Structure 1
Amino acid sequence: MYLPPPTESGDTPVCSADPTSGLPVSGVAVRYAGGHVVPMHKHAHGHLIYADRGLLRVESASGQWLVPPTAAVWLRPHVEHRLVVPVALQAHGLFMREDTCARLPAFDGVMHVSGLLRELILGLTNNRSPPRSERYQELLGALLAEELCAQPRLPFHLPWPADDASGTIHRVCQALLQAPGDTATATDWASRLAMGDKTFHRRFLQATGMTFGKWRQQLRLMSSLTLLMKGMPITQVALASGYESHSAYATAFRKQFGEPPSAFVANTE
């Protein structure tokens, strides 16, 4: 198994195993129970992860990605990551050989899944018996690589602070992660940390690559996706996420994700 299931003790083994078929693209499908966590592991191959339902969370040292059923996350070879499974789902893992990776995106990110790409993913992770010929699988893999490259990158990524020697910005981000609706301003945080406003803004931008306001907005919107997927009414989601009204939240949501919250929910059901 390349996406390791729980052991008999209930723990999930760290898995750095890669496919051994030698095909340019190979895959596997694994069912997970809700609340399951696959701990940090990595692969020598490029890795594409797609889930048929729920909102899969993929975490790495550089940040986290949320993956709705309309998308998949692409990770380059050797990227350490863990999976957090919110609801029972089937995860589809595809592994790309090094020569195939050379044609694929040179970044880690969440990609849109078109209807064709979805069918290719399912076709390559179908544990069919007897299996299709290698030539057939090679053709599917080649088409999948082309289709993946044609997909737009989606804004479902929250970067984590890097090169923050003192850990100050890391602590700020961790606090906000625990309370996305927190309303403290950048000035409030600077005061708590006994530093000037300009210093705080500069250090935050250096550590995350985003301004404080933009990072917090991204955190709030991404956190709200989990609440939406749990069936919470949109107005309650808006207030819990730090927005003053349904309309303010819907406007920010549409600007970031290209559709209103109601459409996102409808498209992921």
Structure 2
Amino acid sequence: MGFHSPEYGGHALDPSVDTWSVSGVAVRYPAGHVVPAHQHPQGHLIYADRGLLRVEAESGQWLVPPTAAVWLRAGVQHRLVVPVALQAHGLFVREDVCARLPAADCVVHVSGLLRELIMALTRADNAAVGDRRMALLGELLVEELHAQPVLPLHLPWPTGGAANPIQQVCQALVDNPGDTGTAAVWADRLAVGIKTFHRRFQQSTGMTFGRWRQQLRLMSSLTLLLQGVPITQVALASGYDSHSAYTTAFRKQFGQPPSAFTASRPVL
């Protein structure tokens, strides 16, 4: 379907046709671009073949490096935040075809085959490709997507809306991942006891404060790594005391050291 700039054809990754079970579109976004909250009636796969994309929904936030894609169920409202320039590819899967795909919103690994299928479906001239080829590409994409493992790139978001003070804490940490304030400091800011703060945070996010903040820091650090910032600087900016502490946490979360991640990053 070709590339469209954010100024052309609307702000979102919208399908232009729904003739096939799977259709797609590709869009270039500049650094700093934000796509306002919107939703689609189809299941939605979002992939950025370069750069880093943040997808935000009521249930949480996901970071999408070039080796992964976000899967959203039909009707899930979301917005896109573009920390660095990228090319985004949106795939739309009809609801009647979604039964074998994840029942919850998540980040999935993108295999070499899945990547090529995404490219074929989002860049194709559908009229030239023909119905049979489009149908076969769509069927194969669903099969390959079904086989992909879910990745730990989800950050749960507090329930209860902006009135929930825990959401204010989380938003402040998102705005400054390197913030060193302890749970006790945040409890004092909210004028509650430390036990009450921990209980409310766990109830609102499903995670402890320490685990949630570490996940946020590691996810946020991916943006700096993709921008080529030295690992030691990334560690300090993300709230870690040293290169080694950051590397240990990164390896535990993502299964590889940050040096391996930076070595595989695409040229932006």
TM-score by length of 2: 0.92
1:142 to partner: Cα distance: 1.0
Contact 1:181 1:240 in 2 (8 A): yes
Distance 1:148 1:168 in 2: 38
After TM superposition, the structure 1 stretch with the greater mean CA deviation from structure 2, 244-253 or 125-134, is 125-134
Equivalent position of 2:7 in the other structure: 7
Compared CA separation, residues 259 and 245, structure 1 to 2 (3 A): same
Of 87, 90, 94 in structure 1, the residue corresponding to residue 91 of structure 2 is 94
User: How do 1:4-153 residues align onto structure 2 when only pairs under 5 Å count?
Assistant: 5-7=5-7, 13=10, 15=12, 18-128=15-125, 131-153=128-150
1:156 aligns with 2:153: yes
1:217 aligns with 2:236: no
Distance 2:189 2:36 in 1: 34
Give RMSD over aligned pairs: 2.2
1:249 aligns with 2:246: yes
Contact 1:164 1:207 in 2 (8 A): no
| Deviant stretches of 4+, over 3 Å | 1-8, 12-19
Contact 1:71 1:113 in 2 (8 A): yes
Distance 2:217 2:97 in 1: 36
State the one-letter code of the partner of 2:20: L
Equivalent position of 2:260 in the other structure: 263
Distance 2:127 2:172 in 1: 52
Compared CA separation, residues 166 and 84, structure 1 to 2 (3 A): closer
Deviations 1:184-234 (A, max 9, x none): 211222223222222111100010111000000011111111111111110
Contact 1:46 1:97 in 2 (8 A): yes
Contact 1:3 1:15 in 2 (8 A): no
Distance 1:165 1:239 in 2: 30
TM-score by length of 1: 0.91
Compared CA separation, residues 132 and 220, structure 1 to 2 (3 A): same
Distance 2:28 2:77 in 1: 21
State the one-letter code of the partner of 1:227: L
After TM superposition, the structure 1 stretch with the greater mean CA deviation from structure 2, 187-196 or 253-262, is 187-196
State the one-letter code of the partner of 1:30: V
1:200 aligns with 2:197: yes
State the one-letter code of the partner of 1:199: T
Of 179, 183, 188 in structure 2, the residue corresponding to residue 186 of structure 1 is 183
Distance 2:203 2:146 in 1: 30
Equivalent position of 2:168 in the other structure: 171
Equivalent position of 2:228 in the other structure: 231
Identity value in percent: 68
Aligned length: 266
State the one-letter code of the partner of 1:52: D
Distance 2:154 2:2 in 1: 24
Contact 1:4 1:15 in 2 (8 A): no
Distance 2:175 2:33 in 1: 20
State the one-letter code of the partner of 2:236: L
State the one-letter code of the partner of 2:55: V
Please, which runs of 5 or more residues in structure 2 have no aligned partner? none
Contact 2:57 2:78 in 1 (8 A): yes
Contact 1:4 1:38 in 2 (8 A): no
Please, which runs of 5 or more residues in structure 1 have no aligned partner? none
